[in-house]
């Protein structure tokens, strides 16, 4: 049995600088390149490798093909203090959603709760990053994304809706041992990337997780082309609801135009909605975070089930992974490293030194 190739360990700061340099060569401004790289490294640190450094080559391709707009003119429209719409002008997701999160926080400080819709962005990246930015400032962050249909819908033949994610971040007391709660999930049973990984390794897929092009469930990774919704009607219903709460709400429908005869309906794009909730408007921020910590303590004090490794709340283990990778370096898969090396040589960017 052959030994799998060893992953390359790279210090997070070096990986961030390297990724930003590549993205800047790809056409982004220095500021926007750093912002985008930060989202990728955040995901990589937390073990979400599907949204980590592997995304750099994909974003370079989006920029080169003009799918993503490197010189986007981002505008904010608002007619009420607690809500706004940010038009991304096809900017990469991190370039648009970072400012949207800041805008939501600024408004919520005054109004108690605020929502910012994001229209016409291109691949949001890890949605958990943006709600975590909100939680870092002491507010609750909630985010939805709607994208291009690539998942089945209960009762429909073929791809119908998107694997649209939901993320919620709840702050804890900064002096406590608890990392903020972070629920970050797609409406699909498994990610598209998991299907590709199973195909590469020849590993059968779980029952009810994926389907063929016509929607027939399959465990064969060679036949699977799309994921199935999480919980059947629950996941497909959530995805459709997120389309209404993002795309339709900001006047940029994806679902209806995708399934129409208009060729423009197939052009890649995503929409989002970020919500910030200020606990100070609901009785006090300090009392809130104290109760959040008490709730998490209660959960972790419950008896663990037989065979369980422990009792964990959403985001706890990924925060621990981030701490470990922050000390030892971020592992980069050999295939991803080869791709990054080729891009670096092509663009004249120096490779970072490996930590191990």
What residues in the chain have per-residue pLDDT under 50?
Answer: 1-2
Give 169's strand partners.
141, 182
Residue 1: the pLDDT is 43
Residue 214: the pLDDT is 87
Long-range contacts of 61-69 (CB under 8 A, 24+ apart): 62/92, 62/122, 62/123, 62/268, 63/23, 63/26, 63/27, 63/28, 63/92, 64/26, 64/27, 67/122, 67/267, 67/268, 68/92, 68/122, 68/123, 69/122
Residue 290: the pLDDT is 95
The number of beta carbons lying within 10 Å of the beta carbon of residue 237 is 16
Give 167's strand partners.
143, 184
Residue percentage of the chain with pLDDT more than 70: 98
d(CA 350, CA 343): 10
Using an 8 Å Cβ cutoff, are 84 and 117 in contact? yes
Residue 196: the pLDDT is 80
Q: What is the pTM of this model?
A: 0.94
Phi first, then psi, for residue 50 (nearest 5°) are -65, -25
Question: The dihedral of CA 65, 50, 36, 271: what is its sign?
Answer: positive
Residue 3: the pLDDT is 52
The candidate with the shortest Cα–Cα distance to 45, out of 312, 320, 352, is 320
Alpha helices in the chain, H assignment, sequence order: 12-25, 30-45, 55-64, 93-111, 127-136, 192-201, 233-243, 255-258, 285-300, 316-328, 334-347
What's the chain's average pLDDT?
94
User: What are the helix and strand counts (H, E) for the chain?
Assistant: 11, 14
């Amino acid at each position: 049995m052959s030994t799998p190739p060893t992953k390359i360990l790279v210090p997070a700061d070096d990986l961030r600088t390297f990724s930003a340099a590549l993205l800047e060569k790809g056409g982004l401004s220095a500021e926007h390149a750093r912002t985008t790289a930060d989202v990728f490294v955040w995901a990589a640190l937390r073990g979400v490798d599907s949204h980590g450094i592997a995304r750099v080559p994909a974003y370079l391709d989006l920029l080169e093909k003009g799918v993503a707009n490197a010189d986007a003119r981002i505008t904010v429209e608002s007619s009420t203090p607690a809500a706004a719409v940010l038009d991304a002008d096809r900017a990469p997701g991190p370039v648009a959603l970072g400012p949207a999160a800041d805008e939501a926080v600024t408004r919520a400080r005054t109004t108690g709760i605020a929502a910012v819709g994001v229209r016409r962005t291109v691949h949001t990246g890890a949605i958990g990053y943006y709600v975590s930015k909100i939680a870092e400032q002491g507010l609750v962050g909630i985010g939805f994304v709607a994208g291009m249909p690539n998942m089945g819908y209960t009762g429909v033949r073929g791809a119908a809706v998107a694997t649209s994610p939901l993320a919620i971040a709840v702050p804890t007391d900064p002096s406590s041992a608890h990392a903020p709660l972070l629920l970050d999930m797609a409406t699909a049973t498994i990610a598209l990337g998991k299907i590709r990984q199973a195909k590469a390794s020849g590993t059968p897929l779980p029952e009810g997780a994926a389907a063929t092009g016509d929607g027939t469930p399959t465990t064969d990774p060679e036949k699977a082309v799309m994921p199935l919704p999480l919980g059947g009607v629950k996941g497909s219903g959530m995805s459709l609801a997120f389309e209404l709460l993002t795309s339709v709400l900001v006047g940029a429908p994806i679902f209806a135009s995708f399934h129409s005869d208009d060729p423009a309906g197939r052009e890649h794009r995503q929409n989002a909605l970020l919500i910030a909730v200020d606990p100070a408007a609901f009785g006090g921020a300090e009392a809130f975070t104290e109760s959040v910590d008490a709730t998490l303590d209660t959960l972790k004090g419950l008896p663990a089930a037989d065979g369980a490794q422990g009792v964990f709340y959403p985001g706890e283990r990924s925060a621990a992974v981030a701490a470990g990778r922050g000390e030892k370096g971020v592992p980069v898969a050999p295939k991803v490293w080869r791709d990054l090396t080729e891009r670096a040589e092509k663009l004249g960017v120096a490779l970072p030194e490996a930590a191990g």
